[in-house]
A = this chain, B = another copy of it.
Amino acid sequence: MSEREGERRDDAVPEPFPPSRPRPIAGGRRAEIAAAAARFFAEHGYHTVGMREIAEAVGMRGASLYNHFAAKEEVLYAIALGMTKGAAEENLPLLDDEGTPATRLAALLRAHIRHLAEHRVEHLVGLRELSALTPEHRAQITDHRRYYQRRVRDVIAAGVRSGEFAVDDPGQAAVAILDMVNGISWWLRSEHDIDQVVETYVGFAIDGILQHARER
């Protein structure tokens, strides 16, 4: 029920994720192409967008794209990877900060929703176009998402043990919360007040689903 020493926590980081580092998406032309492609993919769907269309958006001809990506599918993979792997690397460290499970999870969710809002199109594409990836690439993306989900489950489980949260199945709660917040990328528009959305959803998750003790 109490934490041990303040150094180790019972939801401490499990095996760190394998150091696969295919190629950085950030780095000039490549990033520019991926960003343009993500916008088109999000609006019209992966298969209806042609290489020529993407090329035109960044001011080159279709054939020139192959100097930056070996195939169209590689563009999609870069987008999906930047979203899943990127989100994991930027957000998950917050779970290792000081604080109770409730404060740490709240921090993660705030970062998660903000990340999702900033990379809305990439998120949408990464969620929706999984079936267009090669089996190998799809497996990579799925692994990253599973790892993320497991970390959330673990901090929820820690909160249940400490008495902060009251749910029967931390794994199911993690899935429900992540599906709920990821749903934001489907309807978020620039008109929305992000701060408002963030606080509302953190409340839904922590005070709502996880029944964070609110009477004391």
Interface residues of A (CB under 8 A from B): 43-48, 128-129, 131-132, 168-169, 172-173, 175-180, 182-184, 186-187, 197, 200-201, 204, 207-211, 215
Question: 9 new A-B pairs (CB below 8 Å) besides A47-B48, A176-B204, A179-B184?
Answer: A45-B129, A47-B47, A176-B180, A179-B182, A180-B180, A183-B183, A207-B211, A208-B211, A215-B215
| B45 & A132 in contact (Cβ 8 Å cutoff) | yes
Q: How far is the CB of A89 from chain B (nearest CB, A)?
A: 23
Interface centre among A128, A179, A187, A215 (most CB of B within 10 A): A179
| B168 & A200 in contact (Cβ 8 Å cutoff) | yes
Complex A-B: 24 CB contacts under 8 Å:
A43-B131, A45-B47, A45-B129, A47-B47, A47-B48, A47-B132, A48-B132, A168-B200, A172-B200, A175-B187, A176-B183, A176-B204, A178-B183, A179-B180, A179-B182, A179-B184, A180-B183, A182-B183, A183-B183, A204-B208, A204-B209, A208-B209, A208-B211, A215-B215
Q: How far is the CB of A173 from chain B (nearest CB, A)?
A: 7
Residues of chain B contacted by A211 (CB below 8 angstroms): 207-208
Residues of chain B contacted by A173 (CB below 8 angstroms): 204
Residues of chain B contacted by A131 (CB below 8 angstroms): 43-45, 48
Nearest B residue (CB) for A47: B47
Residues of chain B contacted by A183 (CB below 8 angstroms): 175-176, 178-180, 182-183
